[in-house]
Structure 1
Amino acid sequence: MLKLLRYITGILLFVGCTSIPKERSLPLEQVPPVQAGFSEQRLALADSLINRYMRDRQLPGGVFLVARHGKIVYYKSFGYRSLNFWEEYQNDDIFRIASMTKAVTTVGIMQLYEQGKLGLDDPVHRYILPFKSIGVLDTFNPADSSFTTVAPKTPITIRHLLTHTSGIVYGDFESNEIRAIYQKLDLLGVGLSHSSWTTEQFIDKLAQVPLAFHPGDRYNYGLNVDVLGRVIEVVSGLSLRDYFQQHLFDPLGMVDTHFYLPEEKHSRLVPVYAQTDDGTVMKQDDGLVQLIDYPKRKDRGHYAGGGGLSSTAMDYARFIQALVNDGEYNGHRILGRKTIELMTADQFVALNKKGAGISQIPGSTFCLGFGLITDEANGLNSKSPGTYEWGGYFSTKFFIDPEEDLIFVGMTQINPFKHGEFYDRLTAVIYGAIED
């Protein structure tokens, strides 16, 4: 009997230690919701919610995708791409994902990290020399936007850039002397594309702007990940476009994700809408349309690692499914499991204690490249601790919940979006439909 127990124990240990292909690492496929632990009836409440927002002209429509255990349980398009209701949204429509580009660039950096090609605490000037002489703003003359600087207490590191603690900001979102300096150097409105600069030219120009604060002092959302895009170029020897294509898009089958769309795909790029003061949807004016149609520009070598990509809901789902799969999708590995554990660990424990993190809400924090929910936020909403997420300027959204093995992609195009509670309510519906 003892020998039998030992034999059974040995078999169990062998099975537990043997690498068995996970069903969820196969290509995403659509199944009835019940096959992934959802109530079909309760998940259909998402239709009602989306339709209500469209009926009240608070949302133009869009494409929304939910997958669990590698199975798509919800993948639908709603609404119209035109206010005269003649052209419906399609599942394969292409959206400007803006800051959802940051997650892709972050993964590119972490690939180079796990290959030993860079360190998280390396000074960025090791890769981009102009940052060696960057200073922190000291004095400012409003008459001509001239300024003086002091030396930073510590150099900007790769980790600072990944966590938006470098002192580099978005000049467009500032209302003080920093914005004036960005304007003087022609650096406003460059977070998505540029008509003539290459990535290298843009980042070298950015290195001329003083830091808003000493690196590591606090969180402030900025052009940090654009700098990381240039780091990828320097370390890999490839343009950011080619690096993404070879190391992420091709392996994951992301056939519709681009910095600049091929001409044959221009018609699939959806329009961007705005909202009036009362929150109703309206089409953007023609002047702004020229600005936001950057994905149709000619490719001149400027690849905004912090905001330049356009994509489809399915393409982006493939990308984040690889992350919830511990780095693997359809037989292709883009990151190691331990690297993802590092990437999704809270980086703001110390900053949060002194109120200098991303949020004053306990448990709403930041990891490397993503917003993060920790145990302290349990009960804030339905998402599990460990969920990491981000969104884009034109109101796209994604989240990854490893505990539930769940991903979500929401694609719409509206800015400003005066009904940000929409995504909170849609998330509540999704989690409320989980039955197992």
Structure 2
Amino acid sequence: MKCLRYIIFICTSAIFFLPTNAQKNIKEAAVPSTSIDYHRLANIDTLINGYVSRGWVPGVVALVVKDGNIILHKGYGYSNIASKKRMETNSIFRIASQTKAIVSAAVLILYDQGKISLFDPVSKYLPGFANQTVLDHYNAADTTYTTLPVKRAVTIKDLLTHTSGIDYAIIGSEKMRAIYAKEKIPVGLGVFEPNLVDEMNKLGKLPLAFEPGKEWRYSLSIDVLGAVIEVVSKTNLEDFLRKNIFEPLNMQDTWFNLPASKANRLTTVYTEDSLQHVIPWTKDKFGVDPNYPLVKKHYFSGGAGLSSTAIDYAIFLQMIMNGGSYNGKQILSKRVVQMMLHNQLDFAFNGKNYFGLGFEIVSDKGSADEPRNEGSFDWGGFFGTTYWADPKEKMIVLFMTQLTPNSHNDLESKFEQILYSSLK
């Protein structure tokens, strides 16, 4: 009997990590949902408008989809404060690291096609990753270092799970930032002239921060996957995404190079001064030109380069929730989506939650003190965008602004609290 109860528990728990079989397309709700307390939901308007009126946040787009129906989709505040241009639901945002999930899905399209394996060494596609080394000793005084040979090669799966040993330029560890800066490794945000494949091969020749598979560390790994996609598909990353994801899903506002016809919908990006006042982001901030979406590029960062709208990204997430299909188009196999939403680590990457192939996944421990249910998957972007999908509630949520750093970033968590308190 104890064994039977254990089996039932395991099977029940696994359900939360699987996408729904019901195929949903996102649409405006024809009638109010009976599963929503709209009186409580209205508190979201009061909350966000209060932050806008205090000058704590320039503007927000919030989108909530439940059971395929839009129950909230609003713009609050300003897309541009100086001109008093209102934030609209179709405003376009620099989604930065939200690019990662899309590119992770793209490399898994190649997996579905039998063109790559998760356990392929990256050097099979990028020879710069052959004969890799790991950092041994580092001298901060002159940034010299010694290395040791790696015990095993970095694999495609290591890249997908951020366990490759690669770090990040600018926002990574001090040691690796210095090593990458010396070789001018692109951070991914902005405009870069070099060739993506060449730069990622150059990255592969630099030492790893740790042995592959031993740690989780946020990194340029998905940029490397972008280069792998270009090599395997024999096309550039933008064209591959457009043909295999954006066009089939009708994601018309998701771009590396934002068309001139859409430029007036691009939101202004803001930061804070020393007094925590919201001010426009300027080019000298991290050396990143805020107008990079409008500048023609040939270097497509798989980890940070896209701009998009809330509704476009919600469609991508609905495809994942549907088990890889949307509007009759099968983008990913059902099995691959299950793999994406399954824990791939032997440890909790942030102390409590899991990490799959492209997403953070809320664990039982993680769901104990936050509204999202176990099995919810999420991530966000550097400039203040965030998303999550909750399969148990059949709900997708986008909360998008363009402000970093943000001293009042509790807004998003309060929004989440009100949203879940509105569910019947």
- Tell me the TM-score normalized by structure 2: 0.90
Q: Is the 8 A contact 1:193 1:304 kept in 2?
A: no
Cα deviations by residue, 1:311-361 (Å, 9 ceiling, x for unpaired): 01111111111111111111111112221111111122x233xxxxx212x
Deviation at 1:22, TM superposition (A): 7.8
User: What secondary structure sits across from 1:291 in the alignment?
Assistant: coil
What are the equivalent positions in structure 2 for 1:245-264 lying under 5 Å apart?
Answer: 245-264=242-261
| 1:51 counterpart (33, 49, 52) | 49
Report if aligned partners of 1:25, 1:331 keep a CA contact under 8 Å in 2: no
Are the counterparts in 2 of residues 279 and 419 from structure 1 also a CA contact under 8 Å?
A: no
5+ residue gaps, structure 1? 1-20, 353-357
- The match for 1:105 is 103
In the TM superposition, residue 285 of structure 1 has moved relative to its aligned partner by 3.6
Q: Which residue of 1 aligns with 2:372?
A: 383
For structure 2, list consecutive stretches of 5 or more residues without a partner in the other structure: 1-19
Aligned to 1:39: 37
- Cα deviation 1:119-172 (Å, max 9, x = unaligned): 112111111111012211123344543333211111101111111111100131
1:387–1:401 CA contact under 8 A, matched in 2: yes
Distance in 1 (CA, whole Å) between partners of 2:340 and 2:24 is 20
The offset of 1:409, in angstroms, is: 1.0
- 1:433 maps to 422
Identical columns (%): 37
Match of 2:160 among 144, 159, 162: 162
Whose RCO is larger (CA < 8 A, sep 6+)?
A: 2
Partner of 1:321: 318
CA distance in 1, matches of 2:360, 2:29: 30
Quote the residue 2:203 is aligned against. Answer: 206
Secondary structure, aligned partner of 2:301: coil
Name which one, 1 or 2, has greater alpha-carbon Rg. Answer: 1
TM-score, normalised with respect to structure 1 = 0.88
SS, match of residue 247 in structure 2: helix
Partners in 2 of 1:275 and 1:24 — Cα distance?
Answer: 43
- Match for residue 222 of structure 2? 225
| Cα RMSD after superposing both structures | 2.0
* Partner in structure 1 of residue 12 of structure 2: none
Alpha carbons of structure 1 residues 324 and 145: separation in structure 2 relative to 1, 3 Å:
same
Which structure shows the higher helix fraction? 1
| 2:347 paired residue number | 351
Give the letter for the 2:240 counterpart: Y
Deviation string 1:370-408 (CA, Å, 9 cap, x unpaired) is: 111022223221111000000000010000111111001
8 A Cα contact 2:191 2:289, kept in partner = no
Output aligned runs, 1:63-212, within 5 Å: 63-84=61-82, 86-142=84-140, 144-187=142-185, 190-212=187-209
The answer as to whether partners of 1:99 and 1:391 remain within 8 angstroms in 2 is yes
Alignment partners' CA distance in 2, 1:431 and 1:392? 22
Query: Of the candidates 325, 337, 346, which is equivalent to residue 334 of structure 2?
Result: 337
CA distance in 2: counterparts of 1:97 and 1:165, whole angstroms: 23
Indicate conservation of the 8 Å contact 1:23/1:70, yes or no.
Answer: no
Q: Is the 8 A contact 1:33 1:73 kept in 2?
A: no
Contact 2:79 2:91 in 1 (8 A): no
Does 412-421 or 79-88 show the bigger shift?
79-88
In the aligned structure 1, how far is the partner of 2:402 from the partner of 2:172? 24
Cα drift, residue 286 of structure 1:
5.5
- Assess if the C-alpha contact under 8 Å between 2:96 and 2:305 holds in 1: yes
Q: How far apart, in 1, do the equivalents of 2:338 and 2:34 lie?
A: 25
